[in-house]
């Protein structure tokens, strides 16, 4: 465990292999040419080289790159956004076509400055992707959109293939880790999404290493299942800058394997757990697993 004055040394299993092949450079060029943002870059995701260079996947970040919230774990810029680009959905859809993606993840900064929290742009992005890429599955990862029911309905009426919303951490640590968002509001958001479209899988993510206990992680799993969440990802929190929360503990891969087993035993249709796992990690595999689970229940 780390004290307030010291930083934990990163263990060997968190070493990242850099790969800047033609896939990586080509994808970066495509994003810049289309004036698109990715959470891969903005949030300093450790998997960017694997996803861009090897899997050729990316998580698009719409509604600009300035967030209205200042969560203490997140590297995305905070401030007052000025950008609301209604041409962005078409540019995202065209990029999905050029990349020939079978599965796409679309996330966004929190836009508390907008009455609908960005729901209309999210919905139009889903529709634009469907028009140009009818066989591509679509996963969306929105903020809680202020907890406003109509905003969520606007998004769910566009029928994404997966609705992903992260609780991020356990109940006790939420006030210290997240800004404006609350643990209960996130659970309500996930529950209402399922009520609006019962056949659409829901998904959430937990970071570990912020000082939570194993019992609190299991409680969070139970809370998610009680609100009918289907898919769970669990990853190691990594401090993006010195201004952000420090890492309290690095979990061993064996501990992640145990957490995955516990999650699956509680009824999640799929669980991705590991030191470098992030919410969108291997998302294409998760949508396939969720689809197979639905077919078995049918």
Give Rg (Cα) of the chain. Answer: 18
Tell me if 271 is assigned to a ligand binding site.
Answer: no
β-sheet with 103-108: strand ranges across: 37-38, 59-62, 103-108, 137-141, 162-164, 202-208, 231-236, 270-274
What kind and span of H or E run contains 253? Answer: helix 253-265
Mean pLDDT by 10 residues, the chain (298 residues): 61 70 67 66 57 63 86 82 86 88 87 94 97 93 95 98 96 94 97 97 96 98 98 92 91 97 97 85 58 49
**What pLDDT score was predicted for residue 284?**
59
Residue 195: which of 161, 232, 153, 231 has the closest Cα? 153
Tell me if 71 is assigned to a ligand binding site.
Answer: yes
DSSP-assigned letter for residue 277: -
**What pLDDT score was predicted for residue 189?**
97
- Tell me how far apart the alpha carbons of residues 221 and 224 are, in angstroms, rounded to a whole number: 5
What kind and span of H or E run contains 216? Answer: helix 214-226
Residue 193: which of 231, 222, 136 has the closest Cα? 231
In terms of pTM, does the model score above 0.75? yes
The bridge status of strand 66-67 relative to strand 270-274 is unpaired
Tokens of 36: 């698109």
Q: How many helices (H) and strands (E) does the chain have?
A: 11, 10
For the chain, give the longest Cα–Cα distance: 55
Tokens of 121: 């742009």
Q: Which residue has the tokens 């929105």?
A: 142
**What pLDDT score was predicted for residue 143?**
94
Please report the domains of the chain, with CATH numbers, ordered by start residue: 16-297 (3.20.20.70)
Beta carbons of 189 and 152 less than 8 angstroms apart: yes
DSSP states of 14-76? G-------HHHHHHHHHHHHTT-EEHHHHTT-TTHHIIIIII---EEEES-SEES---TT--S
């Amino acid at each position: 465990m780390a004290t307030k004055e010291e930083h934990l040394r990163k263990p060997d299993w968190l070493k990242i292999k850099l790969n800047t092949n033609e896939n990586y450079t080509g994808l970066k060029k495509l994003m810049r040419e289309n004036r698109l943002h990715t959470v891969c870059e903005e949030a300093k995701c450790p998997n960017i080289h694997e996803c861009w260079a090897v899997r050729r996947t990316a998580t698009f970040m719409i509604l600009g790159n300035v967030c209205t919230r200042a969560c203490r774990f997140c590297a995305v810029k905070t401030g007052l956004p000025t950008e609301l680009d209604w041409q962005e959905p078409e540019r995202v859809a065209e990029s999905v076509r050029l990349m020939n993606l079978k599965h796409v993840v679309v996330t966004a900064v929190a836009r508390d400055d907008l009455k609908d929290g960005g729901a209309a742009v999210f919905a139009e992005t889903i529709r634009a992707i469907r028009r140009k890429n009818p066989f591509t599955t679509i996963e969306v990862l929105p903020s809680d959109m202020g907890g406003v029911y109509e905003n969520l309905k606007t998004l769910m009426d566009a029928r994404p293939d997966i609705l992903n919303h992260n609780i991020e951490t356990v109940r006790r640590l939420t006030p210290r880790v997240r800004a404006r968002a609350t643990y209960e509001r996130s659970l309500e958001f996930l529950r209402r999404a399922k009520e609006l479209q019962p056949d659409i899988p829901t998904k959430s993510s937990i970071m570990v290493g912020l000082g939570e206990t194993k019992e609190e992680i299991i409680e969070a799993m139970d809370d998610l299942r009680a609100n009918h969440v289907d898919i769970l990802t669990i990853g190691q929190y990594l401090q993006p800058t010195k201004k952000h929360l420090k890492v309290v503990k690095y979990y061993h891969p064996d501990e992640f394997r145990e957490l995955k087993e516990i999650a699956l035993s509680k009824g999640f249709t799929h669980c991705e757990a590991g030191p470098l796992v992030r919410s969108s990690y291997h998302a294409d595999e998760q949508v396939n697993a969720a689809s197979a689970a639905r077919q078995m229940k049918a």
